[in-house]
């Protein structure tokens, strides 16, 4: 029985790595339209951030509004890490 334990742990580790890798592949990055506005919530207070990249799919979608993760030009998360904007503000596909 002790011989099966390392094999089982290896299988679990491989499965976890596969699932993590699969999740990263499904994300895509887009630039935002010039003049896009960002908000704390739909139709809420405007936030002045220098967001350059939007990570898709959105964390949440409500009507025409999407709650996106934002990235700077190097791909690092910005503060705040996610804000609302119109879903139509996606501009140019950058990559996964």
Domain ranges (residues) in the chain: 27-95
The CA distance from 21 to 62, in Å, is: 28
Is 56 buried (19+), middle (13-18) or exposed (0-12) by CB count in 10 A? middle
Percent of the chain with pLDDT strictly greater than 90: 16
**83 with 71: CB under 8 angstroms?**
no
pLDDT tens readout for residues 43-66 = 888 888 766 688 888 999 999 999
The Cα angle at residue 85 between residues 81 and 96, in degrees rounded to 5 = 60
**57 with 81: CB under 8 angstroms?**
no
Is the model's pLDDT at 5 over the cut of 50? no
Q: Enter the pTM of the model.
A: 0.62
Mean of pLDDT values over 21-32:
66
pLDDT tens readout for residues 70-89 = 887 777 777 778 889 999 98
* Residue 40 pLDDT class (50, 70, 90 cuts): confident
């Amino acid at each position: 029985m002790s011989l099966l334990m390392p094999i089982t742990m290896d299988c679990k580790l491989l499965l976890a790595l596969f699932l993590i890798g699969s999740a990263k592949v499904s994300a895509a990055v887009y630039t935002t339209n010039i003049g896009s506005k960002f908000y704390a919530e739909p139709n809420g207070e405007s936030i002045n951030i220098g967001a350059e990249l939007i990570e898709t799919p959105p964390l949440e979608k409500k009507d025409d509004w999407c709650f996106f993760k934002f990235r700077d030009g190097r791909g690092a998360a910005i503060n705040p890490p996610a804000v609302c904007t119109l879903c139509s503000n996606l501009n140019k596909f950058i990559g996964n």
